[in-house]
Structure formats: C-alpha cells, structure tokens
Amino acid sequence: MSIYITVYVIFSLLLLLFLNFLFKKKNRKPRNGSAYDSTSVPQEENRKNMEEQVTDLLKESAIPEPALEYVEADVEPIEDMEPQTLSRMKESKKEVGKGKILTALMLGAFVAILNQTLLNVAIPHIMADLNVSATTVQWLSTGYMLVNGICIPITAYLIEKFGTRKLFITAILLFTIGSFICSFSTNFSFLMVGRIVQATGAGVIMPLLMTVFFTIFPPEKRGMAMGMMGIVMLFAPAIGPTLSGWLIAHFSWRLLFDIVIPIGLLDLILSFLWMRDVTKITNPKFDFPGLLFSTLGFGFLLYGFSEAGSKGWSSTTVVISLIIGIVALIAFVIRELSTENPMLELRVFKYDIFALTTIISMIINMAMFGAMILLPIYLQNIRGFSALESGLLLLPGAIVMGIMSPISGALFDKIGARWLAVVGLTITVITSWQFTTLSMTTSYSHILLLYVMRMFGMSFLMMTVMTEGLNQLPRHLGSHGTAASNTARQIAGSIGTAFLVTVMSTRQGVHMGQYSNLITSTNPFIAGKVSQIGQGIAALAHVPAAAGNQLGLYMIYGQTMKQATIEGINDSFVVATGIAAVALVLAFFIKRARIKE
C-alpha cells in the first residue's frame, strides 16, 4: 500500500512543476490584474470617454472591482450614447458575462462532486471484473481523497499564479482525461492512474468556484449566490448513490465514467468560450518547502484517518501515518507563517469570525459525513435493502436541500448566519438523536422522514456558516480563505468518518460480548429457542435433529450479530448528536461579519 501513497506524492509534485513550466512562458505581467486590459479601441478619444463612464459605473456596480475586467471587454464604445442607455447596456452585459462564468464553473463542480459518489456502489462489481481484493479496490476512493487533499491547499497559489481561466480549463481538462482513462482501463493499475488524474483536476475546482463567487458577488448578495452553489455541493452527492445503483443494476460499471465524459467535454468548450480571469494574477514565488510539507502533512493525515476506521487506531500503519502527518503539518504551519510568500496564507485565521465559522463547519462535517457512512451500513448490511433502495431513500432529502439552499441564502442576506445556524443545528441535534433508536423493525418511511428532516436542518448550515466567515476576509485573502476552509472541512470529514466508524466497531464488540454471555446452552430460554428452530430446519432440510440444532444456533448468532451492529450504530449516532450539540453552542457566538476591504 505504501507504494501507492508514494506514487501520489511524486505525481502531485511533478504535475505542479509541469504546470508551472507550461504556463511560465505564457504568463505576462499582470496589467491591473486583468487578462483583458489589452483590449482597446482605435479611437483614443472614445476610449477615454468610455473609461470615464465605466469608472462612474464601477461605483454602483453589483460586482466588486477586481472582477470587472472581463466586463470591459464586452462593451463596445458607441458615440453620442446617452449615459443612462450606456449604463443599462453595461449592466445587462455585466450580468450576461457573470452568468456565463458561473454556468461553466457550476457545471464543472457538479460533475466533479457527482463523480466522487458514483463509484461506491460499483466497488463489488469492479472487484469481480478486475479480480482484485477489497483492500486493493478501496484505493480507488482513498487515493482520490488523498490527491484531493493535496491539491486543495495549493489552490490559492495556483489562482494567483495562473488566473481563474487557465486554472479552471486545466482542471476540467485533467478531470475529463482521467475519466477517459478510467472508462477504457483494462486492469486495476490503469484504472488507478485515471482516478489520480481525475482527482488532480477535481481537487481545485471547488475552492476555485468559491473564490470566483466571492469575487464577483458583493457581500449583500453572497448569501443567495452561495445558496445556489449549495445546490451543487449538496445535491450532487445525494443523487450519486441512486443514479449509480440504477446504472449498475442495468449496465456496466464503466458507464459511471462514460456519463461524465460528455459533460466534461461540454464544460471544457464552455470554459474556453465563457471563462474569464476575475482575480489579479500576482505571479507569487513558488514555495517548494510549503508544497512539500503540505503534501506530506495532509496526505498522511488523511490516509491515517481513512485507515483508522477499518484497521483501528492502534494499527502501526495508522499511528505512523498520523505521526508523519502531524509533524509535517506543524512544519507547514511554521513555514507558511515565517515566509514572505506563503503558498497558503494561514493568517486568515486571525479573523475571529472566520476562525469560529471554520471550526463550526468542521464540526458539522464530522457529524454529517460520519452519519452518511453509518446509514448505508444499516440499510444495506443489516436490513438488506439494495443499493438502489438505499439511494432512493436519500433522494427526497437531496430535493429538500436543493429547494432550501437558495431560500436559506436569501435569509442569510437579511439576517446573517447566527439564527439560521441555531435553527439548523437544533433540527440536526433532534434528528440525530432520533437515529439512536434504530432497530430491525424500523420502517423505511420513518427513516426517510428522519433523513429528510435532517437534511432540512443541514440546508440552513453548510453555506451560510461558511459564507459569514469568508465575508470577514479582505478581498485579497479570498482565495486563501476558501482553500483553508475547504482543507479544514475535508480533514474534519475524514476524522468524523473514522471516529464514528471506530465507535460503531468498538461498541458492536461490547454489545456482542454481552449477548455472548447470554447465548449459551445452559440458558433455558436460548436452549428452547435453539431446539424449536432446529426442529423446523431439520424437518424442512431433511437433516438430523443435531444438525438442525446447530444451524438454529448459527441463525440465532447471526441475528445477535446484526442486533449488536445496530446498537453500535445507535451508539455512534449518540456521539454524532453530541458533536452537533457542540456546534449548536458555538453557533450562538457567530456575529455578523464586517466586510474587510
């Protein structure tokens, strides 16, 4: 396994160096932060008049100044035009240009996030088709997560170095190429390479999308904008299991990659046509030590947490990975705080509201992602529901989130994040506690209703809390804030998943030990049940009574194991409830951010 993580580290370093070399010659010195300042009109007098009119318009524009460069290229100078007419024309073209950019970005983010959740259902089919073990095939998910974790922290540097246009085109191109490789792979190694290439592109898309949103939308409109983005972030992973379950039931697992290829190609075309640089290209110096420490720190940390859920916290692999990750992460923090040109500006955490909301977002992710792992285990492994049925159970919650995200965003613009977070977390705490009473007879409709209510509460949380914190940051720290926030949330999700799975496994063993003390031949009740079941099995299977009794004992043991697992899951939801309660207390301290310029 260690060879895989070594390959990931080397691949990430080589890729960044290659991109740096590729764009170095093409990068021109930034001209007031715009890639379109070279656009000019032949008539110098008209140009001056136009600049004066645009300058006046900037004061009332809905788009922050750094994002307006791409708008200037859209406006044709027209002689003798009334100022009001010119203003209306300018506003119209501005909105059209902004809409095109957001369309390209959100389509890319949707397909990248959707791709992460499509593969889970296909794991057993890939194991059989490529003849690999469960431990090996799990690297398709683990490797993807590791490369994502490596790429996200360097997004701020890449945005400042190459601009949003080049970076997004490169990201969606890599993602599409990786999908091609996966679709046509004939062995596991080839498939693994495709997943790494996919993750390299997908890892920068989400932080880049958030950076663009915070650049082109003014503070008073960011809530609604982030609510729209929440549809992508939360709806895509929710429909993934349902779509994947249906496709696997009727077609080959390769179709999971085939369906994202045309979307990737379409988005590649749209990004070439519509994408613009909306941030300043500052050409920062390349911080190689920072990249090295970041890669080792986040890579080993995420790997350690991902393995802890299955191998246990005392595993040598887990302990060594976490130690290396923590040491490298400490070195990364020291490096970034001491250098003049940090790869990731960690001083964003000196802003109190940003720091608080990041902590709350991390806690929410711990509770949410852990629960998203526990529920499918209960539905499929214990209750015997198919992947499609368990996916369909998650779909109504996704629809509710899709409806509520823009609404919660609009409410955020009016009242801020505090009371939205309090209401959302209260609902989350209550519904999480309700999940602590699962049993073998809990109805499908009851679980569905609880999950819908839980997602309703979550719709008030995810984007609003994060937006409040990012609103406090000065504009030039926006890309660093989104990169830091996304990195923290991903690590928290991994910690939450590993921790809650560990709680489930540990408590399952405790409950099974308690039941084992009861299931003995000396227990009259158990002896009677074994005899009763054994006689029935012996009669149906035409076997001796002793063999029937043995099979009856196995059946009781199997049911006991299921019950112990359910109680372990219930105990994990108790912990998840406590985690959500901590976030609820912290939510009362959220303040309305004063926008920094």
Q: 89 versus 581: which is more confidently predicted? A: 581
Mean pLDDT of the chain: 76
Whether residue 164 is found in the same domain as residue 208: yes
pLDDT digits (tens, 9 = 90+) for 473-508: 888 888 888 888 888 887 887 777 778 888 888 888
Looking at the structure, do residues 528 and 479 belong to the same domain, yes or no? Answer: no
| 230 shares a domain with 315 | no
The 10s digit of each residue's pLDDT in 425-474 is: 999 999 999 999 988 888 888 999 998 898 888 888 878 888 888 888 88
Domain final residue, candidates 240, 260, 284: 284
Please give the tally of structural domains in the chain.
4
Residue 468's pLDDT is 87
Residue 435 shares a structural domain with residue 455: yes
State how far the Cα of 86 lies from the Cα of 496, in Å rounded to an integer.
Answer: 54
Residue 265 pLDDT class (50, 70, 90 cuts): very high
- pLDDT tens for each residue of 295-325: 888 888 878 877 776 677 788 888 998 899 8
Residue listed under structure tokens 């032949």:
42
Question: Which structural domain range is residue 124 located in?
Answer: 1-284
Answer yes or no: do 276 and 220 share one domain: yes
- 2 with 136, same domain: the answer is yes
- C-alpha span between 148 and 152 (Å, rounded): 6
Residue 80 predicted with pLDDT over 50: no
Among the candidates 284, 300, 321, a domain finishes at 284
Beta bridge partners, 34, equal 31
End of a domain among 293, 310, 340? 340
- How does pLDDT run across 507-518, given as a tens digit for each residue? 888 888 877 766
Q: Return the top range by mean pLDDT from 20-29, 65-74, 367-376.
A: 367-376
**Domain containing 384 — which CATH number?**
1.20.1250.20
Predicted confidence band at 59 (pLDDT cuts at 50, 70, 90)? very low
| Beta strand spans in 421-471 (E) | none
Whether residue 373 sits in one domain with residue 269: no
d(CA 473, CA 353): 9
Q: When comparing pLDDT for 197 and 91, which is higher? A: 197
499 and 565 within one domain: no
Instruction: Looking at the structure, tell me whether residues 394 and 476 fall in a common domain.
Output: yes
Distance between CA atoms of residues 110 and 234, nearest Å? 9
Q: Among the listed ranges 11-25, 142-156, 510-524, which one has the minimum average pLDDT value?
A: 11-25
Q: Which residue has the tokens 């080397």?
A: 10
pLDDT at 93 over 50: no
Does 232 lie in the same domain as 175? yes
Give the pLDDT band of residue 222 (cuts 50, 70, 90).
Answer: confident
Report how far apart the first and last C-alpha atoms of the chain are (Å, whole number): 47
Confidence of residue 346 (pLDDT cuts 50, 70, 90): confident
Q: Is the pLDDT of residue 37 over 70?
A: no
